[in-house]
């Protein structure tokens, strides 16, 4: 099954456009995990189990693991998702960007080592920096387009033939790069008007949308700007707001994470039609 087909099935099966980001910050983990040599894996496993029926995808951010020399735990997490929730797409958030043989090694890391269904990549170096990922025709290539950070405008709004650069990227991907039908774009929830512009350019191409939750993106504006005609087409990511949800009376961290994930999934669904 291709990444796009798997994602489409997950949208339907879990009635969800919610992507649960896995960004483990050791200082924010519950105390029982902070002195555990495999604490990152154990924490993420609990989050995955608590939210798997509410998510259309899981997205581990590689830097949070690599900074702690925890790539072995990331690999265990990826193995765990594939073994226990094989119907849920696994996205490696790496934002890689290099050319030729180096890009091919990054692709091997994402697809062969970690078994990811898709990986995020940076298009700044052009098509030959993205093309090696497309050799894995069943996997997704999720390309940065209009990012959720304020500083993204420094480059993404540069004029390219009368259009901002992010729209040029969207058009390039939709019209030239997506020959295998495996591409998606990253477009931030913090810029709903630009999200709508990208949707108009790329048709039904999936969009990975960070920026709700801790970053403050508006759910209603995000969904109405980015949904496809059938009320899907998006992986709306929330990481910190779910991972580090504050427990209420009688809740542990995983129950709190599930509560916030459910609230977020249901809030998104209000605006899908």
**Could you read off the pLDDT tens digit of each residue along the chain, which spans 273 residues?**
999 999 999 999 999 999 999 999 999 999 999 999 999 999 999 999 999 999 999 999 999 999 999 999 999 999 999 999 999 999 999 999 999 899 999 999 999 999 999 999 999 999 999 999 999 999 999 999 999 888 999 999 999 999 999 999 999 999 999 999 999 999 998 889 999 999 999 999 999 999 886 666 799 999 999 999 999 999 999 999 999 999 999 999 999 999 999 999 999 999 998
What string of DSSP letters covers 46-92? HHHHHHTTT-SEEEEBHHHHHTTT-HHHHHHHHHHHHHH-TTS-BEE
Q: Look up residue 185 and give its two tokens.
A: 């774009």
Q: Look up residue 7 and give its two tokens.
A: 């994602």
Q: Look up residue 65 and give its two tokens.
A: 């693991």
**Residue 236, phi-psi category: left (phi > 0), alpha (psi -120 to 50), beta (remainder):** beta
CA dihedral 234, 238, 243, 247 (to 10 degrees): -110
95 tagged catalytic: yes
Q: Which candidate, 67, 76, 63, 84, places its Cα nearest to that of 115? A: 76
**Cα R_g (the chain), whole angstroms:** 18
**Residue 158, phi-psi category: left (phi > 0), alpha (psi -120 to 50), beta (remainder):** beta
Q: Look up residue 21 and give its two tokens.
A: 């980001």
User: Per the residue annotation, which of 28, 95, 163, 176 is the catalytic one?
Assistant: 95
For residue 242, with 0-12 CB atoms within 10 Å meaning exposed, 13-18 middle and 19 or more buried, which class applies? buried
Q: Is 203 helix (H, G, I), strand (E, B) or coil?
A: coil
Q: Are 198 and 183 in contact (CB under 8 A)?
A: no
The Cα 233–Cα 207 span in angstroms is: 6
């Amino acid at each position: 099954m291709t990444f796009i087909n798997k994602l489409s099935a997950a949208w339907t099966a879990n009635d969800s456009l919610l992507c649960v980001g896995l960004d483990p910050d050791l200082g924010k983990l519950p105390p029982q995990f902070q002195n555990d040599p495999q604490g990152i894996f154990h924490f993420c496993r609990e989050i995955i189990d608590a939210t798997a029926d509410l998510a259309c995808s899981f997205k581990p951010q590689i830097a949070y693991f690599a900074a702690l020399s925890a790539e072995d735990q990331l690999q265990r997490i990826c193995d765990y998702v594939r073994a226990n929730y094989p119907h849920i797409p696994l996205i490696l958030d790496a934002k890689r960007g290099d050319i030729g043989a180096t890009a091919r090694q990054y692709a091997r890391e994402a697809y062969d080592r970690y078994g990811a269904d898709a990986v995020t990549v940076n298009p700044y170096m052009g098509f030959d920096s993205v093309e090696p990922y497309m050799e894995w025709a069943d996997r997704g290539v999720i390309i940065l387009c209009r990012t959720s950070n304020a500083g993204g405008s420094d480059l993404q709004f540069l004029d390219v033939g009368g259009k901002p650069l992010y729209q040029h990227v969207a058009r390039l991907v939709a019209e030239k790069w997506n020959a295998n039908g495996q591409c998606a774009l990253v477009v931030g929830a913090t810029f709903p008007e630009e999200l709508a512009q990208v949707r108009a350019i790329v048709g039904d191409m999936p969009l990975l949308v960070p920026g709700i939750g801790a970053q403050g993106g508006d759910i209603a504006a995000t969904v109405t700007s980015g949904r496809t005609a059938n009320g899907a087409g998006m992986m709306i990511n929330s990481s910190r707001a779910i991972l580090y949800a504050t427990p209420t009376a009688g809740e542990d961290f995983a129950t709190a994470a599930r509560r916030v994930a459910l609230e977020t999934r249901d809030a998104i669904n209000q605006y899908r039609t």
